Structures are given as structure tokens and as C-alpha cells.
């Protein structure tokens, strides 16, 4: 278990979370999606795992980082990652060009 998370959330064998009115509807939808054969905590751990998988920086430098950092990153990508990253960057460039032309 991640020590930082454990210290922050004070996770133990039995952990209680409070559900404020602002998140109550989300938790209701989440609970309705849960399969009957797994516990809520197991289902929550699956959701957190998916969130981490798709929302964690997977080693890319930040947009304003030094170009040498980007060079190292690009060189370390395998062919599939390089193609995927190229498509994303091209999409961003297209959007940036469109916005620039609107403003000029």
C-alpha cells in the first residue's frame, strides 16, 4: 500500500467515508453499476485503479519542460507509443492553430 495514501486517508481494515450532498448522486450511480458478486470496497478499488491508469502522467514531461527532457522522452518511446503521442500532439497543434487564427 502506498504510504502517502495510507497516511493521508488513515486507511485501516474498516474505513468510513462521508458522502456530502455534492457527491451523493455520483456514489448512487456508482453503487448501481457495481456487480452483485463483489464488495463495494473491491469495486471502489477497481475504479480507483482505472482512474490511476488513465489519469496518471506516464512519464511525459510537462508542456513547458526543457526540450532536452522531451527529446529523452521521445527517444525512449516504443513505436506504438510514438505513433500514439504523435497523433495526440498533431491534434493539439491543430486546435492551437484554429484558436490562434480565430484570435488574429
Sign of the CA dihedral running 68, 71, 77, 80: positive
Which pairs with CB-CB distance under 8 Å and at least 24 residues apart come from 48-56?
Answer: none
DSSP 97: H
Supply the angle between the helices 21-33 and 40-55 in degrees, to the nearest 10.
100
Could you give the CA distance from residue 40 to residue 91 in angstroms, rounded to a whole number? Answer: 38
Could you give the CA distance from residue 52 to residue 43 in angstroms, rounded to a whole number? Answer: 14
φ, ψ of residue 69 to 5 degrees: the values are: -65, -45
Residue 15: predicted pLDDT = 73
* Prediction pTM value: 0.43
- pLDDT tens digit string along 10-29? 666 777 788 888 888 988 88
DSSP 10: T
- pLDDT tens digit string along 53-82? 776 656 677 777 788 888 888 898 899 989
Amino acid at each position: 500500500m502506498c504510504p502517502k495514501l495510507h497516511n493521508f486517508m488513515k486507511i485501516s481494515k474498516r474505513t468510513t467515508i462521508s458522502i456530502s450532498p455534492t457527491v451523493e448522486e455520483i456514489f448512487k450511480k456508482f453503487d448501481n453499476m457495481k456487480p452483485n458478486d463483489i464488495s463495494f470496497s473491491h469495486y471502489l478499488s477497481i475504479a480507483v485503479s482505472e482512474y490511476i491508469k488513465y489519469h496518471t502522467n506516464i512519464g511525459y514531461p510537462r508542456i513547458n519542460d526543457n526540450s532536452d527532457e522531451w527529446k529523452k522522452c521521445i527517444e525512449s518511446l516504443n513505436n506504438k507509443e510514438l505513433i500514439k503521442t504523435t497523433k495526440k500532439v498533431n491534434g493539439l497543434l491543430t486546435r492551437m492553430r484554429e484558436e490562434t487564427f480565430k484570435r488574429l
